[in-house]
Amino acid sequence: MNDMTRTGLETETATAKISARGVQVHYGQNHALKNVSVEILDRAVTAFIGPSGCGKSTFLRCLNRMNDTVASARVSGQILLEGEDIYDPRVDPVQLRARVGMVFQKPNPFPKSIYDNVAYGPKIHGLTRNKAELDAIVEASLRKAALWGEVKDRLDAPGTGLSGGQQQRLCIARAIATGPEVLLMDEPCSALDPIATAQVEELIDELRASFSVVIVTHSMQQAARVSQKTAFFHLGHLVEYGDTGDIFTNPKDPRTEAYITGRIG
Amino acid sequence: MTDLSAAPGFTARPKSSILTASAEMKRRNAAEARFKAYGMIAVAIALATLAIMLFTILRDGVSAFHQARLTFPMELSAEVLDPKGNRNREEMSKVTTVGYQKVLSKALLAELDRQGIAQEGVSDKEIGELISKDAAGELRARVLADPALLGTTITANVLATGRIDGFLKGRVTLETAERDSNISPDQLRLAEKLRDAGLLRSSWNWDFFTNADASDQRPEAAGLGVALLGSAYMMLLVLVMCVPVGVAASIYLEEFAPKNRWTDAIEVNISNLAAVPSIVFGILGLAIFINFAGLPQSSSLVGALVISLMTLPTIIIATRASIRAVPPSIRDAALGVGASKMQTVFHHVLPLAMPGILTGTILGLASALGETAPLLLIGMVAFVDNYPSAPPEGFLDPATALPVQVYSWASRADPAFIERSNGAIIVLLVFLVIMNVGAILLRRRFERRW
Ligand SMILES: Nc1ncnc2c1ncn2[C@@H]1O[C@H](COP(=O)(O)OP(=O)(O)O)[C@@H](O)[C@H]1O
Ligand SMILES: [Mg+2]
């Protein structure tokens, strides 16, 4: 995981899952995202870093059209998921979100049982034909989220009764239960203690095997630890994008260097 | 320490022991103590007012739940009640209540005679007057329903007249009887003897809950039956009309409607609607539902429509508040796994908002139950002595409502009606308390779970 040169090489052969071209976002008069173009690779972890308010979350929320729920938000530009424009008028964002899952900053399990939390997505998308299949998906998702061992005896217990770290892993399990191709995570560890953070980071590293993972983080160490690609945002601009190792050891833009050496932030 | 006090913006604080309170601290503590005292006084005034109100209502109203009754054996003479002797109901109904009245007073006189109670100057007619005017009608209905009773001796258990009831309850005294054309002191003294002999007794008054209203001469027979049924019909209709409309409107406004000038205007108007004086709704109801739509006056349907107009804003406001109280993170979570807007609302937001919606609905219904003014305007204050029939036709029959019954009894002259008015208030309060406690329990039970 710490071997950056190796991970850097590994991504060379990967294909782009999402390509964004000239994405602009306005919140009313506020120009929050300015002309962002980026290629997000399949089966890799991409980290978005940058100071608070620079538009990381805004861009992330563009990728599964969660910005549609913000009345004042206007998105322009092009975002292609495997070559198809997700802002095409024919696209139903609900269908899109089944393929591009999301994990939020604050763990937000439904106030239902652990089982129902994970089973909800597969149920509404009609992914299973019977209870046995659903059980299998729930178990597989919880296993992938490294939570199965801790909750397998109390699947009927409320999800809100778990610890913060467990809740976040439950949310990850819930997101992967719908079988998404991309997993968006907005500062998934910011509400967690160091031990839970380490568990979630380890999990993210494992998820890379099956998904394209995009993670927003305010922790540069975290970005360095879990990601293969890093994008640095500043004041709504995508300043620099490249292999994580290069960004941290050899930044090209002076603003990136200033940020990672702690002079802006 | 020296460094700090030298820094700009810091003034040196004189050194003092923390074991003694400074003058400044004493002043602040005194202000706090004063404020607490004001608060306690305010609470005490509120509680005292409530206590006084409850005390007077209970003092004047509890007696309505007991009623004086005369019990004596009575021979139902077939010659008098069925002169033709053929037990034909048509023929028998030619005997009016006056005939039955005579049978009743004759039986009472006979019983006095048998028990050796002297009349002491009270005439036969005056003794007959001790029996409620309602009793004859009741007996007639009973006999017509079951002619086989003729010729047998039954135990009559009939209402005593209102003044005698008042005498047992202490409302009527020998002094007031002097000035009362309806009763004489001698009659009261005789009643005392009847009581001692066990013929006259005050007992639990079920009739109060089941009887219809009664005319001015028979306050002892007046009951809440029609009002209770009318109120029940109205609450049912209000529930059926308001909850679906109110909840649907709230969901739409909160979750789906765009936020623009139109929805702002709607929001303001809904709040205004909740603040419109109820009498205005009464006038509106009279104009629209009765004069324009031609619905029958005094019917529970019109009452419910008018009250729905007032309850709807309350329910919408409560529902919107509880929908808004559901944290946005739950909506994000649902949308994030690909739930549609509709699924998000119905699977997650509504269940979480439900306790609040139910509480708001119950409180809205509770205030609707006590609503009087608009019902007066649409004619529900009319004297109704027939039960409305079973729904749905019954919704169009004349009915009255609990608070309106309180009003109409309170405006009658006979003090016996005032007692009943207070009794009706007690019944109304019991319902309101039950509803409010239900709302509180619901809220406790489903305290936010996220
Ligand atoms: N829902 C919103 N409505 C209006 N402005 C928003 C909203 N969300 C974010 N913004 C604005 O967009 C800019 C970028 O915010 P955000 O993407 O949340 O930054 P970051 O996640 O990098 O901290 C900020 O200036 C913020 O004020
Ligand atoms: Mg953010």
Identify the pLDDT of residue B5: 47
Give the pLDDT confidence of B109-137 residue by residue, as tens digits: 888 888 888 877 788 888 888 888 888 88
Report chain B's C-alpha Rg in angstroms: 32
Range with the poorest average pLDDT among A125-139, B99-113, B254-268, B380-394: B380-394
Identify the pLDDT of residue B449: 56
pLDDT-above-90 percentage for chain B: 36
Mean pLDDT for back-to-back runs of 10 residues, chain A (265 residues)? 43 73 94 93 93 93 91 92 92 91 93 94 90 94 90 92 92 93 92 86 90 91 92 94 92 91 73
Residues B384 and B399 sit within 8 Å (Cβ to Cβ): yes
B449 touches A at CB < 8 Å: yes
Please state the φ and ψ torsions of residue B240, each to the nearest 5 degrees: -65, -35
| Proximal ligand: closest to the CA of A34 | 1
Identify the pLDDT of residue B156: 83
Write out the H or E segment, with its range, that includes residue B154. strand B153-159
Write out the H or E segment, with its range, that includes residue A221. helix A220-226
Copy the structure tokens of residue B62: 């509890």
Asked if residue B303 has pLDDT above 80, the reply is yes
Across the interface, of B338, B343, B347, the residue whose CB is closest to A98 is B338
For strand A182-186 and strand A212-216, is the pairing parallel, antiparallel, or unpaired? parallel
Write out the H or E segment, with its range, that includes residue A172. helix A164-177
Q: Who wins on pLDDT, B183 or A60?
A: A60
Residues B64 and B414 sit within 8 Å (Cβ to Cβ): no
Asked if residue B448 has pLDDT above 70, the reply is no
Q: Which chain A residues are Cβ-neighbours of B354 within 8 angstroms?
A: none
Copy the structure tokens of residue A217: 């983080």
Calpha distance B127→B164 (Å, rounded):
11
Give the number of the atom of ligand 1 that is nearest the alpha carbon of residue A236: 14
Question: Residues of B numbered 313-352 whose beta carbons fall under 8 angstroms of chain A's beta carbons: which are they?
Answer: 327, 329-340, 343, 347-348, 352
Identify the pLDDT of residue B8: 60
Give the pLDDT confidence of B134-153 residue by residue, as tens digits: 888 888 888 888 888 888 88
pLDDT band at B259 (very low <50, low <70, confident <90, very high): confident
Identify the pLDDT of residue A9: 42
Domain boundaries, chain B: 66-205, 225-449
Identify the pLDDT of residue A78: 93
Identify the pLDDT of residue A8: 42
Contacts for B48 with CB less than 8 Å, ≥ 6 apart: none
Number of Cβ within 10 Å of residue B232's Cβ equals: 16
For B271-322, the DSSP string reads HHHHHS-HHHHHHHHIIIIIIIT-PPTTBHHHHHHHHHHHHHHHHHHHHHHH
Asked if residue B278 has pLDDT above 60, the reply is yes
Across the interface, of A102, A125, A160, the residue whose CB is closest to B336 is A102
Q: For the residues B370-398, what does the mean pLDDT come to?
A: 83
The domains found in chain A, sorted by start residue, are: 3-107+180-260 (3.40.50.300)
Question: Residues of B numbered 241-280 whose beta carbons fall under 8 angstroms of chain A's beta carbons: which are they?
Answer: 258-259
Contacts for B91 with CB less than 8 Å, ≥ 6 apart: B82, B83, B84
Identify the pLDDT of residue B260: 86
| Residue located via tokens 């009706």 | B424
Range with the poorest average pLDDT among B178-192, B222-236, B384-398: B384-398
Give the number of the atom of ligand 1 that is nearest the alpha carbon of residue A59: 17
CATH superfamily of the domain spanning B225-449: MetI-like (1.10.3720.10)
